[in-house]
Amino acid sequence: MTPMTYGREAPDPVRAQVAKWLLACCALVFALVVLGGVTRLTHSGLSIVEWQPLVGTVPPLTEADWTELFQKYQQTPEYQKVNAGMNLEEFKDIFWLEYFHRLLGRLIGIAFFVPLVYFLVRRKIDAALGLKLAGIFALGALQGVMGWYMVASGLVDDPRVSQYRLTAHLVLAFVIYGAMLWTALDLMSPQPLARDNHALPRLRRWTWGVTLLVSLLVISGGFVAGIRAGSAYNTFPLMNGQLVPPELLMLDPWYENFFNNMATVQFNHRLIAWLLVLFVPWTWLRAQAIELPRPIRALFHLLLVVLAIQVALGIGTLLLAVPVALATAHQGGALVVFTVAVALNHALRGAKVRQPASVQLHAA
């Protein structure tokens, strides 16, 4: 049997440089997602009531600045209906979280835009890659607008942001992160040397199925966060003693339940998680039937581990009624699972492997 090899082309310094820059931007977006979770969980996101992309970079420097900002916050529904009586020092606590969340978003924009201009001016990247990167930058600009659009929804009658806008904001962050990660992996991708076989296309479909389920779980998680569905049904594995809660379709019209009913939103989130718990080990087992390069096999093992940790974080978050630290780790964990799934999809995209004669993989 010919040993499996997994080679690389001679490294290109420029491609490596661009890839490292994109991975650094991924790390910044990861930090932004985690900080965004803290901001939401501490109810700090509505503390800054204006969107000033440039002027807003400068924090309040004087007592007069603080007083002016606090007076603006006192005109909002959140202060009047939720935080009435809050003093200035308490306001500062929630202000700084939202301020650093917005500041990090701006820093990511700079960290992406300045090197992009440098690479383009120095002609270190070709037109095709330049268009991809420009598209990612445009998504980043859209994310800034989406962030304010989300906050604005909570500055009217109901002191909560729209769950639709919050979910869109979260999903767009995952899209930007995934696009940068995939592009970086393209620049670093190893060149497989082995022969293809009939089992690999089916394995690719299964791994893409995993990524689809992870993406659906993120979307459902956005709605759980948006309507604070994690504060209800804090039992596991049943929902207050029921496999299917009787309130599942209590709203009319029926489709409203999928976005506004705590029981339905949480049930859907649990259901997708259960599907992943079944789907990922099955995909892992199928991968064991194929001779794969060690890096790809390690990714399959890692996927099992990070999913197990993420499920444990989700159960803990639910049972303890959404403590900030645990819920933040759960949000970050979703991005970790997504990262491994995307890396696995990319690794299999070009991998050509062969099946050992001693192993037979049957029906899909």
Domain extents in the chain: 1-191, 194-364
The conformation of residue 56, written as its DSSP 8-state character, comes to G
Measured between alpha carbons, how far is 192 from 208 in angstroms, rounded to an integer? 20
When the pLDDT of each residue in the chain is averaged and rounded to a whole number, the result is 90
Q: Please state the rounded mean pLDDT for residues 3-12.
A: 49
Measured between alpha carbons, how far is 139 from 175 in angstroms, rounded to an integer? 9
pLDDT digits (tens, 9 = 90+) for 15-44: 899 999 999 999 999 999 999 999 999 999
Phi/psi-derived region of residue 322, left when phi > 0, alpha when psi is between -120 and 50, beta in every other case = left
Measured between alpha carbons, how far is 264 from 257 in angstroms, rounded to an integer? 6
pLDDT digits (tens, 9 = 90+) for 201-247: 889 999 999 999 999 999 999 999 999 999 999 999 999 999 999 99
Q: Give the pLDDT score at 291.
A: 85
Q: Give the pLDDT score at 6.
A: 46
Is residue 100 scored above 70 in pLDDT? yes
Q: Give the pLDDT score at 191.
A: 57
pLDDT digits (tens, 9 = 90+) for 48-66: 999 988 878 899 999 999 9
The pTM assigned to this predicted structure is 0.91
> Two tokens at 183?
């592009």
Measured between alpha carbons, how far is 301 from 281 in angstroms, rounded to an integer? 10
Residue 192's SS3 state is: strand
